[in-house]
Structure 1
């Protein structure tokens, strides 16, 4: 028997009074987090949801996320975390594709109407039978969108005997598009997730006075879920939640809560440094560990951060399919700025060519990974799984070089994928939505350099004959049909697009 929820149960048993979660003035001990998770598990079982069933969770970085996440695991079910920026159409796809039987959805706000979007999607999916609203108003027992979380938990016991799951059973399905087509669900097992959290945790020394981790990376994303939430819960740390990154508030929270660990994407580090240098904000003095991932961090940012905060940023590499951590610049060994370090414990990496043959020496080549972190496969997609998995090796699509010390450096990303502000944007998905507009005859989407976001999404459009739609009209239409981080901010109309002899668009020329 192995269940990822043991990290919460162990911390609640051995440090029940230690503060687990902080959100504003709210402070919750480990004992309470575990009790509410037990109530969630009892609720699921009472509604016929258990081992092998899928339960979707759409929630920002607020206490509901760990409550529901660990409750689903305790019930033996599989968590399907959803990006909080998804539109209704996109939520429908994820619920359908994952065979989710229930959706726990945060109520949201006027600016982010998650409750309305979630309800609309739930009503459109026949197989999803239960919709529970996570109210924005604390402890509210009613919601205009459906059954309130707190009303649903009424009468549910705070004790629960965790369902026995096997190491190879699915703990979570994390959606990633890879590089093409509709998003695919990477099936991560209890062994994948638990081992990755343990190994990631043990790479950094524990503060004897108790670690305080800053959680602004979205917990629905593999980086925030494993490297922040699960690592922190496992080491009985305090998790300071920030639902949306704001550099002023982030610095104030770090100072007030005496944060010791921070993981973020490069744009977050850049924003913190900008606030300090431009506004004279004070850098927190308690930070001991800073971790960057999601995109390559500019060397100048790495240097500036170390000079300002007195500690290096440790860069790592991973994917949703690898739970996510695969390689890292680790404490106790020389840090090499601009590299993603070397494989973590229990993980192998090599460079391969198109035929899976190993490339010796420096490379370049495509990174292939084997170890405890590699996913079980893509949910319901055996052919897509066979394309990327062979003899336990997972080929990432990322091109890298390797130096004599075994440190890897990413030199190109998986084909045409765009990374905007740490979020993966997959051009084909954007293209397919744009092509639904009557004014668009042919579309090619690429990433273009952007000072703050790293890359911005740009669409080249051949207009339909007689079409009169403007750039602003197409952008507004995309905004209504795609998550905020996906839709193109730049549209350029063209009479033609560069192509190969076989009709394939040459995106490298557009870039």
Structure 2
């Protein structure tokens, strides 16, 4: 696989934007190494995930990227080889490549080489990947040999953390984005030099040496989110009793339905704790009556939970009423989803994050059928 990193004609960017199948791990690392050793004023141009709309092109100064690499190693208390399990066209993947190179190791490409045989290596995953890997004995055996599995790119609930701990996998939850050169908060604590504050409505703000310098070709948007040295994220959070940042979800994860504000991630996390449910995403979908209706996209997690339906409670498969009662056991009953879409798998973007636009299309299709 080849990481495309080249200077664009007439610009001063190093662009990282696609995979080419058939290459080797040396190909993946080669152009990243060239960038590390190239002119000091050439920034990295990398796209956001586009999980909620059109991807933006983020300009990351070299100093910001390297500040992130060094701060990550300092927080983990070690450095070493990394396993690339994410596309390097996104910030989490390219950071895996760079961390490995800075530590003096060629990255292993999971898709081509498999898990390494030794111990003490590192990798970075998104929650959907880890959820599926924890169902594979071979993957669990490999992940136990890792020094640390960084887990970011989406909500990381207590249920998933507990499953990883039971399996003997050392997980560190990370929070960040392309605009912060990747994860800049580890297990709720900012990396050295990074500052976190909360604005109106719990909006998370970040400052420090890992910040981007702007969006390529979008000066108005840059001015909107880069204010007085702070990056205004699209996420809401709070500080827990230990002063750690706890993510509530994206600001647009709050579903306004019938005049009620429903936090989708909280509903999804409750449903993930149900023994018959595997993967879950909860989103708001436009609705004529409610403004938005709360929709749960469910992948069954046990052989008896083949579908969510209206069967009597004596049937081993959970009914809609049972699942609504399950949600109401921890939250107001009005938070319970009004529509349930059963899937074989959650549709994903290339970086492993749920494809929200595809999910909403599936909900509309399901409602019309």
Verify: 1:487 aligned to 2:358, yes or no.
yes
- Which residue is equivalent to 2:275? none
Name the CA distance, whole Å, in 1 between partners of 2:182 and 2:354: 24
Query: Is 1:325 aligned to 2:183, yes or no?
Result: yes
Paired residue secondary structure (1:243): helix
2:59 paired with 1:187: yes
Matches within 5 A, 1:42-121: 49=9, 52-53=12-13, 55=15, 57-59=17-19, 62-63=24-25, 64-71=27-34, 73=35
Q: How far off its partner does 1:55 sit?
A: 4.3
Match of 1:269 among 130, 133, 142: 130
Segments of structure 1 that go 5 or more residues without pairing to the other structure are: 1-22, 24-35, 75-161, 330-340, 355-364, 432-443, 454-478, 497-511
How do 1:205-244 and structure 2 match up within 5 A?
Answer: 205-206=77-78, 211-226=80-95, 228-243=96-111
The alignment partner of 1:274 has SS state of coil
Q: Following TM superposition, by how much is the alpha carbon of 1:343 offset from its aligned partner in structure 2, in angstroms?
A: 1.1
TM, length-normalised to structure 2: 0.64
- Kindly report structure 1 stretches of 4+ aligned residues shifted beyond 4 Å: 48-51, 53-56, 176-179, 279-285, 416-419, 444-447, 483-486, 493-496
Once residues 452 and 50 of structure 1 are traced to their aligned partners in structure 2, the CA distance between those partners, rounded to angstroms, is 51
Q: Secondary structure at the match of 2:358?
A: coil
- 1:197 aligned residue: 69
Q: State how many pairs are aligned.
A: 287
CA offset at residue 271 of structure 1? 1.8
Distance 2:74 2:66 in 1: 12
Change (3 A) 1:264 1:173: closer
Deviation at 1:450, TM superposition (A): 3.5
Instruction: Report what 2:173 is aligned to.
Output: 315
1:173 match? 46
Per-residue deviation, 1:324: 1.4
CA distance in structure 2 between the partners assigned to 1:173 and 1:377 by the alignment: 11
TM-score (norm 1): 0.48
Could you tell me whether the CA contact under 8 Å between 2:123 and 2:148 is conserved in 1?
yes
CA distance in 2, matches of 1:413, 1:451: 22
How far apart, in 2, do the equivalents of 1:243 and 1:393 lie?
37
- Are the structure 2 counterparts of residues 164 and 225 from structure 1 closer, same or farther at C-alpha, using a change threshold of 3 Å? closer
**1:298 corresponds to:** 157
Task: Note if 1:397 corresponds to 2:234.
Answer: yes
Q: Is the 8 A contact 1:264 1:293 kept in 2?
A: yes
Q: Could you tell me how far apart the structure 1 residues matched to 2:63 and 2:217 are?
A: 20
Question: Helix, strand or coil: the match of 2:87?
Answer: coil
> 1:375: which partner in 2?
212
Residues 216 and 264 of structure 1 are in contact (CA less than 8 Å); yes or no, is this contact kept in structure 2? yes
Please state whether the residue corresponding to 1:395 is helix, strand or coil. Answer: strand
Q: 2 CA distance for matches of 1:53 and 1:265?
A: 27
Give the whole-Å Cα distance in 2 for the aligned partners of 1:297 and 1:351.
20
The answer on whether the counterparts of 1:218 and 1:224 sit within 8 Å (CA) in structure 2 is yes
Residue 304 of structure 1 deviates from its aligned partner by 2.4
How far 1:367 sits from its partner (Å)? 0.4
Q: Secondary structure at the match of 1:490?
A: helix
> How has the CA–CA distance of structure 1 residues 192 and 405 changed in structure 2, closer, same or farther, with 3 Å as cutoff?
same
CA RMSD of aligned residues (A): 4.3
How big is each residue's C-alpha offset from its partner over 1:59-82, in whole Å with a ceiling of 9 and x where there is no partner?
1685333223343x26xxxxxxxx
